[in-house]
Amino acid sequence: MIFVPHATKLRPPLDERQIKRLRVGDFVSISERIITARDKAYARALESLRSGKRLPLDLRGAAIYHCGPLAMKTRGGWQVLSAGPTTSARLDSMQAEFVELTGVRALIGKGGVGEDVASELRRLGCIYLAFTGGAGVLAARAIKGVEKMLWQDLGTAEAIWVLRVRDFGPLVVAVDLHGGNIYLR
Amino acid sequence: MPLKNEFRDVVVEMLQRAATTLPKDIVDAIERSRKRERNKIATVQFDCMLKNLELARKLGVPICQDTGIPIFFVKLGSELDLGFDLVRALSDAIKRAARAVPLRQNAVDPLTGKKSNAGQPIVHIDLIRGKHLQIDILIKGAGSENWSRLYMLRPTDGQAAIKRAVLFAVAESGGKPCPPTIVGVGVGGSADVACLLAKRALLRPLGTSNRDRGLADLELRLADAANEFGIGPMGLGGRTTVLGVHVEKAACHMASLPVAINFQCWAARRASARLVDDRLVVEVP
């Protein structure tokens, strides 16, 4: 078993007060719901939001997971087999605008974001949480079900997955709201 | 020589094995690295990696959702009569494995981003003497591949420049290629050959150093220097940034010094098979 001392349990939707308590290096786990988005979903979401359209789901206070799951279609729907994080920095040019226009409060990924993006996230009241890259099966085990999949035409890896999770983690607070950035230590 | 279907099924088994388990040298290196770490965040990263490997093996599902793009290295005896189309057999094996394992559809057209298999699979064939056949597979995810680098250095700058290039690439990539990584370095040849040498260097099991004493020494010094950065597992800080550095070289033009770098993430998925008594046999590393 993985022993993690004092993991803070988060249940999105999150507000600023909840994430302000967290400091770089803290361990966190998430229950209830996380929503995946990567390259193409970010781009499409921004295109909609810029032209004043609404997204098909409300992302205020949400935890966004940079992930393109490997899943298998079953009779009852989808079974997520492996779902580790993808490189967050690939989305850096879209990150701040995405967070600002959606009201997302936590990004989950791997490898961190650029320094300028980290300060933008702070200003917008959004933390960055790191999950172990490559730990796809460990992640999938915390996924208890697929609520829905949106924008499936982007492909299953690029679509938005709304996932029901229990104790998703261990996540490490890598960028906090107090100027902390684990990648600069 | 095995029949085409037999051959294809062995390659499916290789892909299955590579996607769901790691070779022993890699697991051992991860376990040893975990013991050396002194900070809790680093040990938790290693615990997650090891727990994930245990789950993947037990459930028979891919370690990482990025099941990569398989890269084949084939040593083909020029006197061997295959009796079937090798590349087509490999391609059929990927299609089967994609359903059976399953593997994520990763191949797309580079311009339109639409699903495409044009130019796939990637197969590097080396013609060798005799009737031998060996197949090595690397399952290469994009996270580590994206940090590949090619430097055309000045020959007069020599080894010091090679070291700077490798260490710069490690520092620049930070936590993004999923460290601890294996760093493949190709020196010399030409721009294309250096890149291939760097990738081929990743096939070598950890703990084996180059037969060339100069290169073996360079490998150790680069690994020590890279680990001094403190980037640590997943870039979250720690003593282990690389599991190893593997350098390969080839002669090159006197006015050139190509140095290519290819990163392999900690989930170093590979498989090998070779011909034994007319049967293709999977090796369990």
Mean pLDDT for B253-273 is: 98
Q: Does residue B259 share a domain with residue B177?
A: yes
- pLDDT for position B284: 80
Q: Which residue from A minimizes the CA distance to B106?
A: A157
- Closest to A94 (Cα-Cα) out of A104, A84, A85: A104
Interface probe, candidates B22, B37, B47, B48, chain A, greatest A C-beta count within 10 A:
B48
Considering its fold, how many domains does chain B have in total?
2
Does residue A11 fall inside a structural domain? Answer: no
Antiparallel, parallel or unpaired: β B257-264 and B181-188: antiparallel
State the Rg of chain A over Cα.
15
Q: How far apart are CA B217 and CA A7, in angstroms?
A: 43
- pLDDT for position A1: 61
Does A172 contact B236 at a Cβ distance shorter than 8 Å?
yes
Rounded to a whole number, what is the distance in Å from the CA of A170 to chain B's nearest CA? 8
Does A172 contact B41 at a Cβ distance shorter than 8 Å?
yes
Considering its fold, how many domains does chain A have in total?
1
Percent of all residues in chain B with a pLDDT value above 90, rounded to a whole number: 96
Does residue B45 fall inside a structural domain? Answer: no
Q: Does residue B192 share a domain with residue B148?
A: yes
Q: Does residue B184 share a domain with residue B93?
A: no
Quote the domain boundaries for residue B116. Answer: 4-21+63-141+269-283
Q: Does residue B255 share a domain with residue B173?
A: yes
pLDDT tens for B63-91 read: 999 999 999 999 999 999 999 999 999 99
Tell me the chain B residues in contact with residue A135 when contact means C-beta distances shorter than 8 Å: 48-49, 51-52, 64
Does residue B195 fall inside a structural domain? Answer: yes
- pLDDT for position A76: 86
Does residue A104 fall inside a structural domain? Answer: yes
Does residue A23 fall inside a structural domain? Answer: no
Q: Does residue B159 share a domain with residue B122?
A: no
In SS3 terms, chain B reads as CCCHHHHHHHHHHHHHHHHHCCCHHHHHHHHHHHHHCCCHHHHHHHHHHHHHHHHHHHHCCCCCCCCCEEEEEEEEECCCCCCCCHHHHHHHHHHHHHHHCCCCCCCECCCCCCECCCCCCEEEEEEECCCCEEEEEEEECHHHHCCCEEEEECHHHHHHHHHHHHHHHHHHHCCCCCCCEEEEEEEECCHHHHHHHHHHHHHCCCCCCCCCHHHHHHHHHHHHHHHCCCCCHHHCCCCCCEEEEEEEEECCCCCCEEEEEEEECCCCEEEEEEEECCEEEEECC
- Closest to A125 (Cα-Cα) out of A31, A13, A46: A13
Does residue B163 carry a pLDDT above 80? Answer: yes
**Domain CATH for B130:** 3.30.360
List residues of B whose CB lies inside 8 A of any A CB: 40-41, 44-45, 47-49, 51-52, 55-56, 59, 61-67, 102-106, 113, 115, 142-143, 146, 174-176, 178, 233-237, 265-267
Quote the domain boundaries for residue A47. Answer: 28-179
- pLDDT for position A6: 82
Number of neighbouring beta carbons within 10 Å of residue B34: 19
Please tell me which of the candidates A5, A87, A183 has its beta carbon nearest to residue B40: A5
Does residue B199 fall inside a structural domain? Answer: yes
Does residue A50 fall inside a structural domain? Answer: yes
- Closest to A28 (Cα-Cα) out of A60, A12, A4: A4
Residue ranges of chain A with per-residue pLDDT less than 50: none
Percent of all residues in chain B with a pLDDT value above 70, rounded to a whole number: 100
- pLDDT for position B2: 77
Q: How far apart are CA A73 and CA A130, in angstroms?
A: 28
Does residue A58 fall inside a structural domain? Answer: yes
**Domain CATH for A137:** 3.20.130.10
Q: Does residue B109 share a domain with residue B179?
A: no
Q: Does residue B130 share a domain with residue B160?
A: no
Q: What is the ipTM of this complex?
A: 0.97
Does residue B36 fall inside a structural domain? Answer: no
Tell me the chain B residues in contact with residue A112 when contact means C-beta distances shorter than 8 Å: 174-176, 235
- pLDDT for position B121: 96
Q: Does residue B259 share a domain with residue B154?
A: yes
Does residue B57 fall inside a structural domain? Answer: no
- pLDDT for position B1: 67
Q: Which residue from B minimizes the CA distance to A182?
A: B236
Please tell me which of the candidates A1, A70, A172 has its beta carbon nearest to residue B104: A70
Does residue A15 fall inside a structural domain? Answer: no
Q: Does residue B107 share a domain with residue B8?
A: yes
Q: Does residue B249 share a domain with residue B111?
A: no
List residues of A whose CB lies inside 8 A of any B CB: 1-5, 25, 27, 40, 67-70, 72, 81-84, 86-87, 89-90, 110-112, 130, 132-138, 140-141, 155-157, 170, 172, 174, 182-183, 185
Task: Reduce the DSSP state of residue A69 to 3 states and report it.
Answer: coil
Mean pLDDT for B215-222 is: 98
Q: Does residue B151 share a domain with residue B128?
A: no
Please tell me which of the candidates B65, B142, B176 has its beta carbon nearest to residue A84: B65
DSSP A183: G
pLDDT tens for B123-137 read: 999 999 999 999 999
Does residue B56 fall inside a structural domain? Answer: no
**Mean pLDDT of the residues in chain B:** 96
